[in-house]
Amino acid sequence: MRLLIEDTLCLVVDVQERLIPAMPEETLVARILKLIDGLKVLGVPFLISEQYPKGLGPTLGPILERLPEILPWPKVAFSCCDEPHLLESLLASGRKNIVVCGVEAHVCVQQTVIDLVALGFQPVVAADAVASRDPADVTRSLDRMRAEGALITGIESLLFELLRAAGTERFKAISKLVK
């Protein structure tokens, strides 16, 4: 199965002010921003979730700055699919491939991915753009998500698969991002 731009949407899960400092990976935010920037070059639409923003704070400023037209959906359920308005937006998008990035891999990301599969979507987890407080939880959750039917890939591989060919302005822009 090849990923196509017109069938793809990106879901940024809970990249929030009070969650990110607990993640051990210093480059996580930079990698998520690289993914967002690349998908924007390709014209892929976005949705953003926020887990209990009253307690965990808002989505990080750099993400909101890159996606100023996207209002994050607040939620208290771990799975994004259990937030009715967010699920409605996913269904209304008409896109079947849902690129997923964010935190925590073993809780909100994993439960969202499992529900996306059950709903007939094809989740595509950007493995280098997800994290948990304990790196071992990431490994276990990627294994579980793969077993449940998610595609597991990396940012660069995903961007070039969607791009499909070199020699365009979009290729030049994506190449700059991944260097």
In single-letter form, the type of residue at position 78 comes to F
Q: Which of the residues 34, 81, 108, 115 is marked catalytic? A: 108
Tell me whether residue 81 is one of the annotated catalytic residues. no
As beta bridge partners, residue 146 has none
Q: Which of the residues 10, 34, 75, 101 is marked catalytic? A: 75
Tell me whether residue 10 is one of the annotated catalytic residues. no
d(CA 151, CA 16): 25
Segment holding 49, helix H or strand E: strand 46-51
Q: Which of the residues 14, 34, 80, 128 is marked catalytic? A: 14
Would you say 115 and 145 are in contact if contact means Cβ atoms under 8 Å apart? no
In single-letter form, the type of residue at position 17 comes to E
Would you say 162 and 5 are in contact if contact means Cβ atoms under 8 Å apart? yes
Active site (catalytic) residues: 14, 75, 108
